[in-house]
Structure formats: structure tokens, C-alpha cells
Amino acid sequence: MHYLDAGISLLALLGLCVFYAQPGRLGAALAPLGAVCTAVLFLMVGGVLGLLLPAAFLFTALCFTLCLFTLARTGPKKALRALRSPGFIFFVGMSALALVWFAVKAPVFSHWDEFSFWGTAVKLMKLSGGLYTTAETGWFWTSTEMPALPLLSWFMQFMGAAFAPWKVYLAYAVLFFAVASALTAPFGKRPVVALGLGLTGVLLPFFFLSPQRITALSPAYLSAYGDLPAGLLFGGALAFYFALRAGGQNGAFALLPLAALALVKDNTFPIALVAAALMAADTLFFCPAGGGVQAKVRKGLLLAGYFAAPLTVYTLWKQHAAFANAHNTVMAGEATGASPFGAAAESAAQLVGVRPRSEDFTRTLSEMWAAFTDGAFSPVSMVGSGLFTALLVLLLFALAILSGKDRGARLRAGLAAGLSTAGFLGFQFVLLTYFAFLNKYEGGLPDYERYSVSYFAGWLVLALLLLGLCARESAPARRSAVQGPPAGQASEATEQKGGRTGRELAAQGLVLLAAVGCTVLFALRVLPGYSVLDYPDRLYDPLRREEAKAGELAALVPEGERTYYIGQGDDGFGWFRTHYYFLPRILDYSGGGGSIRSEAAGEPGEQVLSPRELREYLRENGCTYIYVGAVDDDFVEEYGTLFTDGLHAFEGEPVLYERTDDGDYAPLSP
């Protein structure tokens, strides 16, 4: 019954959906994304207060209580009738299918940053019952990252007996399906269009994560990286807002995904501000407050709320992280690096020519442009480079504007297109600042395509949504900015005529064409045997064997003891994997990889430590155990005297050594 905890957590979210779906709240198609974002925010607050585990149980109980309350108040038939939406049905079916599929296949982590943060953070919370920021990890990065995705992943398994990586993938899939459901929200009476948009939303992970015909396992739905989820949540937040406006629901509900978006990654905070600006501009120009002082005050508060929501949660988390890092023995000795605001000011000054451009800045600018335009070596999506992906989005915006039924609808689409395009340029500036000043690199621009997806995915979702919206409604009639336009009013004239306009039919055809296009690209580029659909289990066998061996050795280390890692030739990935396997036991940072020489050999990442210096380091840092993962003949010759057997116990498989009374290290056997 290793899937029971995930099933209960999923049922809790569905219970909250029952409450949110009732008239006057969110509606069925928006309820899943509202429930997911509520869970993230509730758990974040509970975790900051040091009450993560009680908060999870309380949230689960509240979800079921609100569900029962709704059923008792409205009656089961009426409550369930409110859930009859193509998007919600799609969400429930896909989430249930994902639960069963992942439980059967049980994939494990295989990518670098899954071990360095995204997966390790969830395992830390599972083991400790608290936030990963407060856990001892042996190194400094984990406590600096944002919590939204780790919290959602932890929620899917917090009641279980053991940590399971596949439940992290399940949590991401639930988020993706919730975004797809939100895309369908304005089209409940047109199920074909709704399902077309829902299908497009489900296939978008493949569109961005499998840009070329794959010959290795596709990371779509099998990766815990935060870049694509951030992008889809960006698009989901905007879909959430525009669906609220189209359906006449309370616009303040849009603060839920907006706040959650600010907690995904550091570089999604600027994206959250772009989303806030889009919502505020649309509310300001196309949702008049009406007469009366109270209406105008409500509108002003809502406009301020769009910016206050992401700023508040982001600031709260950063204050918590700063406090946690101040009490972290590893972080205390680490430099915090350049100030992001100072780096942004310097980047802007060099970009506009106020200050002369440095060599690093010029090189970064040139390499970013090359990465943006080169589809062969730097594809962002299935259509190729960032340039072609941007042109696709702009084409969809142009079609959305042309499909508007009146001038107001076209202006509304044009405003969203213009502001989001400006936001795209701003996000590129954020990446430029990051690469040039905050994450200096050598030998090629690292991960530009991956970081860019955080904006491209949401930008594409917005373009698809506007294309559909411009087909079904004109500019909103005058009504409260908080409440939005009356549902159905925009299309009332068309419906009274008994038919749909040519523009509406054309736009709906284009939406369906986009769904068909995604499906065709998926069929051409993605082989089932190299995707989540039907990958062979043997692909994960080496990692499972590695984890089992590391687990045997970790079991020999008492909790609280520190283990030093040696892995000659390791670029750091081996350390991250072993660190993850050893938890909750602490693997010493070991200089960032454990590759050691007694004198400089010119290899990147190697430490230069004499045998005496290594012995002193081990003593000063309290490393009573040494994990030997890989050594060569030179290492054995130089450092063999530290080990009672001269490292003869190492025969290609990892070996654990324990410090003896005289300070040498003797081999242990599991």
C-alpha cells in the first residue's frame, strides 16, 4: 500500500476542489489549480512557523471538512453537478492515471539538480518533518532555494512510511494537469475546444523538454527540475485570471496562483511581477469599477494586491531563509556573493552604455544571442531555437488580436501581448545579469535553454488562451473590477442570433489546430519506449543498484556521525548522488566532489591536499568515516598510508572506512 498516502493527499485536494467549485467561488475547471496553490501557501506558512507536519495534517483535515460541509449544505447532487466540467473531469482522470502509473513504474531520480536540490529537499523534509532549510545537509546550497515544488512534492507523501521519488513526479504531474484544467475553464460549453486546450497543456512538457527526436529517456514528466513547472504555473496563473474574468467570478482569487508562482524559483519572482502587471493592466483598462467610492476602493485594493501577494510571500520566505542560514553551520562560513540588485544595476549600466562593457559582459551577451538564435545546438522547443519559439508565440498573439470580435477585445489581446513581450525582454535581461555577474562561467553558456523555458512555457500558454478567449467574448461590460464581467454577457448578442461568428469559428479552429499540431509533433519526436509512456525499467537499474550499495554502507554509519567522500575524477555529480543516498546521515562537503591530489595537476575541481593536510581536515571536521567511491593508482600511492589496508579493500565497488583509535581508517563490511 505504498501509494495510499499519495492517494489520500490527492483526495484531500479533490475535496477542496468540491468546495471551490461551487457557484460564487472558482468553478470546477479552476478549482484544481486553486487547491494546489492553496496547499503550497498553507504549508509554506506552517513550515516557516516551525509547524510543517501539523500544518499538513490540519490542511488535509480542512479539505475533507470543507468537502463534507459543501455536500451537506448544497446536497450531493448539486455539489457534484457543479463539478461537471471538461477540465475538472480531465484533471481527475489524468491524476488518477498518473498515480497508478507512477506507483507501478516507480521511477527514481537521475538528473543532476534532482540530487543537488529538487529531490534532496523533499527527502530532507520527509526524514525530518520540517522544512529543508532547517536540516543539516553537509553543504550550503539547499537552504537557499525556493519551497513551492518541494512542499507540494512532500505533501503527496507526508503520511507515508518511507520517501519515494516517484511521488515527487506525481506531484509535478498533478500541477501540470491543474494548469491544463485552468486552460479549459472559459470553454465549458464547448467541450471540443476545452479538451483541445487540455490536451495541448498535457503535451507542453514534451514540447519544451523533448525539442529534438529523442534517443534517450525524455525528461517530460520524469524530471523534478523547477524550470518548466515555473513556466506552466506562470501561464496557469494568467489562465486563472482571464478565466475568472470571462466567467464573472471574484478576481481576487487570482492572488492564489500569483503568490505561489513567486515561490517556485528565484528567477520566477520577476515572472510573478510580470503576471501581476498583466492582471493589473487588464483590470485597470478593461474592468471599470463602476460608480461609487466603495467600488473604486475595492478596485484599488485589488490592483495593489496583485503586486503585494507575490512580494509578501517572497519576502516572508527570504526572511525565513536568512534566519535559517544564520544558524546553519555550513552556510555561516560561505560567502553570499554579489547583491542581485547591485548586479542588475551594473548590468543595465553596461547594457545602455553608461559604463564600459567588461569582457565577461560582452562575451555573455554574444553567447546569449547565439543560444537564442541557434536551433541546432540550443533548441528551446520542438519548433527550434528561442527565436523561432518567440515568433510562434507572437504569431498566436497576432491571430488572437485578429480574431477579436470587436475593438475592445482586440485592444485587450494587444495589451496582454505587448506587456508579456516586454516581460520576455525583461526576463532575458534577468538571465543576462545572472550569467554575467551572479553565476560566472567558462566554456560556453550553461543551461540557457532550460532557464528560458520558465518564460517561454507561460508565454505560449497565454497566447493560446487569448486566441480562444478572443473567439468567445468581446471586451467586458461595465461591472465591478473585483467581480468581473457577467458570465456570458459578452457573447449574448451572438447567441441570440443563434449562431457563431466566422471569427469565432476560425479562432476555435486554430485552437484545435494547435492541439493537433502538438499531437503530431509528439508522435514524430517522442518514442514511447523513451518516454514516461512506456520506458523499460532497466533504464533505472544502474541507479537502483548504486542506491542499494550506498544504502548498505550508510547503514553502518551511526546517525550524527560525519562521512568524508572520496571520488577521484568526480565532477560533483557522484557526491550529490551519494549525499542523497546517505541521508539522514551527513556526507561531508569534501571540497565539492572529493577528487584530491597532493600537488596541482591542472584538473578542474581537484583539491590540493597533502596526506597530512587531509588527515588534519578529517580530524577538524569530525569525519569518523570515509566513503571511497573511486580512486586511481596515483591516489593509492599518495594516500594509502591513511588506510590500514593500503586501500586494498577497494576493488571497483564503493568501500566504507572507519577511523581507528590511532587516527587511521580501517575498512568496514556491510
Give the pLDDT confidence of 188-229 residue by residue, as tens digits.
767 777 888 888 899 999 999 887 766 678 899 999 999 999
Is 70 exceeded by the pLDDT of residue 345? yes
- pLDDT: is 12 or 144 the higher one? 12
Within 8 A by CB and 6+ apart from 135, the residues are 124, 125, 127, 128, 142
Same domain for 508 and 409, yes or no, is: yes
Is 80 exceeded by the pLDDT of residue 569? yes
**Mean per-residue pLDDT, 471-489:** 44
Same domain for 561 and 599, yes or no, is: yes
Same domain for 553 and 526, yes or no, is: no
Same domain for 571 and 513, yes or no, is: no
Determine the Cα–Cα distance for residues 547 and 576; give it in Å rounded to an integer.
12
400 sits in which H/E element: helix 386-403
Same domain for 597 and 450, yes or no, is: no
Q: Work out the mean pLDDT of the chain and round it to a whole number.
A: 86
Let me know if residue 511 belongs to a domain. yes
Cα–Cα nearest to 87, from 154, 130, 27, 20: 27
Residue 570, all three cell numbers: 568526480
pLDDT recorded at residue 602: 52
- pLDDT: is 404 or 166 the higher one? 166
Is 70 exceeded by the pLDDT of residue 477? no
**Mean per-residue pLDDT, 601-616:** 78
Let me know if residue 355 belongs to a domain. yes
**Mean per-residue pLDDT, 547-553:** 95
pLDDT recorded at residue 457: 96
Same domain for 401 and 505, yes or no, is: yes
Same domain for 569 and 518, yes or no, is: no
Q: How many domains does the chain have?
A: 2
Let me know if residue 224 belongs to a domain. no
Same domain for 429 and 506, yes or no, is: yes
Q: What is the pLDDT of residues 404-426, one digit of tens each?
A: 878 888 899 999 999 999 999 99
pTM for this structure? 0.92
pLDDT recorded at residue 247: 78
**Mean per-residue pLDDT, 139-146:** 73
Determine the Cα–Cα distance for residues 182 and 37; give it in Å rounded to an integer.
13
The CATH number that applies at residue 576 is 3.40.50
Let me know if residue 463 belongs to a domain. yes
Same domain for 517 and 639, yes or no, is: no
Question: Treating both helix axes as pointing N-terminal to C-terminal, what angle do 340-352 and 407-433 enclose, rounded to 10 degrees?
Answer: 100
Cα–Cα nearest to 507, from 88, 190, 237, 177: 190
Distances 141 to 256, 497, 522 between C-alpha atoms, Å: 28, 62, 36
Are the beta carbons of 449 and 207 closer than 8 angstroms?
no
Determine the Cα–Cα distance for residues 532 and 529; give it in Å rounded to an integer.
8
pLDDT recorded at residue 331: 43
**Mean per-residue pLDDT, 493-512:** 59
pLDDT recorded at residue 607: 80
pLDDT recorded at residue 536: 85
Let me know if residue 506 belongs to a domain. yes
Same domain for 517 and 598, yes or no, is: no
Same domain for 546 and 521, yes or no, is: no
Let me know if residue 213 belongs to a domain. no
Let me know if residue 557 belongs to a domain. yes
Distances 379 to 39, 248, 376, 452 between C-alpha atoms, Å: 34, 40, 6, 11
Let me know if residue 248 belongs to a domain. no
- pLDDT: is 447 or 313 the higher one? 313
Q: Which domain holds residue 657?
A: 540-668
Same domain for 617 and 524, yes or no, is: no
Q: What is the pLDDT of residues 238-256, one digit of tens each?
A: 999 999 988 777 788 999 9
